[in-house]
Amino acid sequence: MSSKPSTIPLAVPNLLGAEARYLQECITSTFVSSVGPFVNQFEAELATLTGTEAATVVCSGTVALQMALTGLGIGPGDLVMMPSLSFIATANSVSHSGAKPWLIDCDVQSWTLDLGLCRELLERETEPDGNGGRRHRESGLSVRAIMPVMIMGATLDFGAVVGLAKEYGLRVVVDAAAAIGAEAKGGVALGATGVDAICYSFNGNKTITCGGGGCVAGGAALIGRIRHLCSTARVGRDYDHDEIGYNFRMTNVQAALGVAQLERLDDFLAAKQRIRDAYAKLAGRYPDHLSPFPQPEAGRSVHWFSGFWYRGDDESLPDAFRAHMQAAAIDLRSFWKPIHLQEPYRNALASNMPVAEGLWRRIFPLPCSTHLGDEDLARVIDAADAFWAPHV
């Protein structure tokens, strides 16, 4: 009897570097809580990598986005433009800040926020508020920020994002949750593009993980403000607090993992690229049916997830392919359901969504752990070939 092969997961942590040693250091030194040398080191390294003056680490990517908005003074009465094709956390972070999301369709080529549509809506549905910003006419809310998402690690046209934001008096908070290591056009660091804040996630399935965690990178004043808010707004060494703060810090234990993971970022990114190339090659065998995930030309994308999408017309094929892969013990699930279709955001302000609604069921994120072996990669490709070959 042959035993059933174990399921190849979508993305699991690769903890084969200095992780165990650094965790042991936390135990030995007793620095297991929110103060400690790994926290400081991780923050310094993240600021350098991002090209910002400073960075502060927090307990999740969702919280990083929320605190970037709060730190910029965005909250109740405000609107934040963001793509509907994202993980729900992007919208949740806006809600937690007290502001409301304005959900916008994505661009059909890049799958990132459709900036042309943003401009059209700003022109048609908002008016100058007299303070350099824009008031949304129907809701009366102030459009204060734009939150583009680097979907699956794709880079953005930062020049266009920042140009639009300047024109309409908006702040830019980048959801780079899954995009650590990405660069703007010409190899420019994200921090040198003119955006206000860049937010990362270190959740278990991200390229770099701390188990859980997040980071906001940006200017020194903004980051100082966020750090203060996230550590109970404490002043000095005694129990003095000058406002209602949060306990949103990352622990030294999480940061120890982060420091060890960052040491191998280049290797991880190379592994992700190799996996992307393999899936792009596979998609290339079925050009009438499949295309790889977009890779915007202007800059470096980091392929947190890779795979392909179905471009044909047979609406039953995507689910049939998912079932086929599951039966072959490959963890292929549905991609993110757009946020405007999610129960809590059903009544959110939203654009028309032909692109996001047409795309999401056709997207197939395939296994992409950085230590995915050749044998497993071949198993994924063979299983996919077995499904698509009869459809050529």
Residues at the site binding ligand PLP, with contacts judged by CB under 6 A: 60-62, 86-87, 89-90, 149, 175, 177-178, 201, 203, 214
Helix H, strand E, coil C: the string for 241-268 is ECCCCCECECCHHHHHHHHHHHCCHHHH
Which residues sit opposite 223 in a β-bridge?
A: none
Q: How far is the CB of 365 from ligand PLP (least distance, A)?
A: 11
Q: How far is the CB of 214 from ligand PLP (least distance, A)?
A: 5
Q: How far is the CB of 242 from ligand PLP (least distance, A)?
A: 27
- Cα gap 232→239, rounded to integer Å: 10
Yes or no: say if 176 and 93 are a contact pair by the CB < 8 Å rule: no
Q: How far is the CB of 93 from ligand PLP (least distance, A)?
A: 7
Q: What are phi and psi of 126, to 5 degrees?
A: -130, 165
By beta-carbon proximity to ligand PLP, the closer residue of 63 and 332 is 63
CA neighbor of 98 nearest in space, from 67, 62, 72, 74: 74
By beta-carbon proximity to ligand PLP, the closer residue of 154 and 325 is 154
By beta-carbon proximity to ligand PLP, the closer residue of 214 and 365 is 214
Yes or no: say if 169 and 141 are a contact pair by the CB < 8 Å rule: no
- H/E run at residue 383: helix 374-388
By beta-carbon proximity to ligand PLP, the closer residue of 177 and 290 is 177
Yes or no: say if 172 and 162 are a contact pair by the CB < 8 Å rule: yes
Q: How far is the CB of 19 from ligand PLP (least distance, A)?
A: 18
By beta-carbon proximity to ligand PLP, the closer residue of 305 and 388 is 305
By beta-carbon proximity to ligand PLP, the closer residue of 62 and 142 is 62
By beta-carbon proximity to ligand PLP, the closer residue of 61 and 338 is 61
Q: How far is the CB of 209 from ligand PLP (least distance, A)?
A: 9
Q: How far is the CB of 323 from ligand PLP (least distance, A)?
A: 25
Q: How far is the CB of 389 from ligand PLP (least distance, A)?
A: 32
CA angle 234, 240, 245 (to 5 degrees): 40
How many residues make up the chain in this entry?
392
Report, in angstroms and rounded to the nearest whole number, the Rg of the chain calculated over CA atoms. Answer: 21
By beta-carbon proximity to ligand PLP, the closer residue of 229 and 282 is 229
CA angle 111, 112, 117 (to 5 degrees): 105
Residue of minimal CB distance from ligand PLP? 61
Yes or no: say if 73 and 54 are a contact pair by the CB < 8 Å rule: no
By beta-carbon proximity to ligand PLP, the closer residue of 145 and 178 is 178
Yes or no: say if 252 and 31 are a contact pair by the CB < 8 Å rule: yes
Give the distance, in angstroms, between the CA of residue 29 and the centroid of all CA atoms in the same chain: 33
Ramachandran assignment for 171, one of left (phi > 0), alpha (psi -120 to 50 degrees), beta (any other)? beta
Q: How far is the CB of 250 from ligand PLP (least distance, A)?
A: 11
Q: How far is the CB of 46 from ligand PLP (least distance, A)?
A: 14
CA angle 206, 212, 215 (to 5 degrees): 80
Amino acid 49 reads: L
Q: Is 1 exposed, middle or buried (0-12, 13-18, 19+ CB in 10 A)?
A: exposed
Yes or no: say if 220 and 66 are a contact pair by the CB < 8 Å rule: no
By beta-carbon proximity to ligand PLP, the closer residue of 208 and 383 is 208
